[in-house]
Structure 1
Amino acid sequence: MERKKSTPALTKGILEKEIDTIGLVQFVPSATAKYVRISIKPGKGVRVTLPKRATLAQAEAFVQEKAAWIRKHLSSQQQEQTKKTLFSPDVEFKTRFHQLLLLPHALPQCKSRIKDGILYVWYPEQVTWEHPDIQDYIKTAVEYTLRLEAKRYLPQRVAYFAQQFGFSYQQVTIKNAKTRWGSCSYTNNINLNLHLMRLPEHLCDYVILHELAHTVEKNHGPKFWALLDKISGDARGLDKQMKAYRLQVY
């Protein structure tokens, strides 16, 4: 009797496959994963991480089982994407220390300059400012400006609060993270997102205090919240206000 061949394990790198009602799905084998895990990230789509011995058939079955959940989250992300800023000459946009000014010019390419509190962005007059390439250039210029501001402002703000409340930390790094406003490592290195420069000052301070509190309390247990409430004045209330802001939607 001929033995039926088992479905082979997925072991050779990332496989992309079109799944009905969902779209393109990435299947990624992992030597360390213990369970099949689905993640959905803006701009990256659906990613399925598999344990070493999992088969593609098992992974596809799991995706089908979770299809409704996946479609719901994909739809939510698409709605978030439509909320992104359309930079316009007629709509004011400000960072903490700079105002954006869009101007047409006769040159065939975009250029930008920062001077006296103004971020100037010139775009080709024969191309509308709504063009995706123009919008991408403006966003890049804005984030460059945010990074300059963040490097100048945030480390000194961390130092100020650390001295005021008696915290110790190693160093401050500015990042353009996609999912976190800030983080604190086990060795008390503090990472802060350059997009903090878009927040109201009191919420920017709250994120800094949040990470400084993690130099003492590494988790989000009761002791952490008690400490953060003591130094911020209203930890839960400020945390609730943060939910009105998005890292990649502005």
Structure 2
Amino acid sequence: MESKKSASALKKEVLEKEIDNIGVVRFVPSATAKYVRISIRPGQGVRVTLPKRASLAQAEAFVQEKASWIRKHLDSQHQEQQKKTLFSPDTEFRTRFHQLLLLPHPLPHCKSRLKDGVLYVWYPEQINPEHADIQDYIRKSVEYTLRLEAKQYLPQRVAYFARKFGFSYEQVTIKNAKTRWGSCSHTNNINLNLHLMRLPEHLCDYVILHELAHTVEKNHGPRFWALLDQISGDAKGLDKQLKAYRLQVF
């Protein structure tokens, strides 16, 4: 009887190929997938899931068939990446409660500290702060700061609006979700994204009100929008403003 391949064995069979007009594509075997599937994620490029019954040639043909769609999404992601802040000592960047300050130092590694409303980040003076590793460290420091701020600020803001408009909920959880500013479970647990701390206050409040409205109306039907409009003042207008911001682009 043939045994199933382990995850490590499947991992070894991952193949990367250069496809004309697309770039490097990763073909990843899957023991459970039923169809060839293409996914494109920021920073990870093009990934093709390969079912057991599909050949590499079939997968490549599928990629060529979807080449126009793939290029469109790669271009879109590239444009989004270009919107990211390139942090330097001259960069003006702040979260809700902290100002970022970049400083060179003689040590060979980065370090950071929060004090008196300032996020200090020190980087090795012999390395250009635009180096990818330095930029990555700064972003992680900013996200750490956002998480601390969010845990302190967002739950009390939810409580304030719940009291004001008569909503009830179970608990508030802070997450670093990739696709949602917030969500509300069927048991009225509210999840809020730490990146809300980057939004203007009125849009942060709008997301909170959006999720509180879901404690009453679980879908996005007319009654939901009527309720949200009543408590926010301009639900559709605020929702349109929110679309100008990206969760992972800052």
TM-score normalised over the length of structure 1? 0.86
Considering only aligned residues, what root-mean-square deviation do their CA atoms show, in Å?
Answer: 2.3
Q: Which residue of 1 aligns with 2:199?
A: 199
Change (3 A) 1:134 1:228: same
Give the distance between the partners of 2:20 and 2:92, measured in 1 at CA: 43
* Higher mean C-alpha deviation, range 35-44 or range 216-225: 35-44
Q: Give 2:209's aligned amino acid.
A: L
Residue equivalent to 1:90: 90
Greater Cα shift, 90-99 or 19-28: 19-28
Contact 1:30 1:49 in 2 (8 A): no
Residue 208 of structure 2: aligned partner? 208
% identity of equivalent residues: 80
Partner of 2:25: 24
**The residue matched to 2:152 in structure 1 has which SS?**
helix
Q: 1:52 to 1:234 in 2, by over 3 A?
A: farther
Comparing 227-236 and 122-131, the one that deviates more? 122-131
Name the amino acid aligned to 2:190: I
Once the two structures are superposed, what CA deviation does each residue of 1:35-80 show, in whole Å capped at 9, x if it has no partner? 6543322122223456776555544433222110111111111121
**Conserved in 1, the CA contact under 8 Å of 2:25 and 2:48?**
no
Residue 223 of structure 1 corresponds to 223
Taking the aligned partners of 1:216 and 1:57, their CA distance within structure 2 comes to 51
Count of paired positions: 239
Is residue 181–residue 196 contact of structure 1 (8 Å, CA) maintained in 2? Answer: yes
Q: Retained in 2: the 8 A contact 1:98–1:117?
A: yes
Describe the shift of the 1:212–1:89 C-alpha distance in structure 2 as closer, same or farther (beyond 3 A). Answer: same
2:135 is aligned to 135
Separation in 2 of the partners of 1:179 and 1:85?
Answer: 20
Q: Are residues 201 and 35 of structure 1, via their aligned partners in 2, closer, same or farther at CA, if it must alter by over 3 Å?
A: same
Structure 2: distance between partners of 1:221 and 1:161? 22
1-structure distance, mates of 2:112, 2:199: 23
Partner secondary structure for residue 149 of structure 1: helix
Q: Which runs of 5+ in 2 are unaligned?
A: 1-6
Shift of 1:110: 1.5
Structure 1 position 240, deviation (Å): 0.5
Write the distance in 2 (CA, Å) between the matches of 1:138 and 1:86: 10
Secondary structure of the corresponding residue to residue 238 of structure 1? helix
Distance 1:34 1:207, change over 3 A: farther
State the SS of the aligned residue for 1:88. coil
Q: Where in structure 2 are the equivalents of 1:54-133 lying within 5 Å?
A: 56-133=56-133
Q: Could you say if the C-alpha distance between residues 57 and 220 of structure 1 is closer, same or farther in structure 2, counting changes exceeding 3 Å?
A: farther
- After TM superposition, the structure 1 = structure 2 runs for residues 180-195 of structure 1, keeping only pairs within 5 Å, are 180-195=180-195
Q: For 2:28 and 2:127, how far apart are their aligned partners in 1?
A: 40
Preserved contact between residue 28 and residue 47 of structure 1 (Cα < 8 Å): no
Displacement of 1:146 in angstroms is 0.6
- Relative to structure 1, the CA distance from residue 223 to residue 99 in structure 2 (aligned partners, 3 Å threshold; closer, same or farther) is same
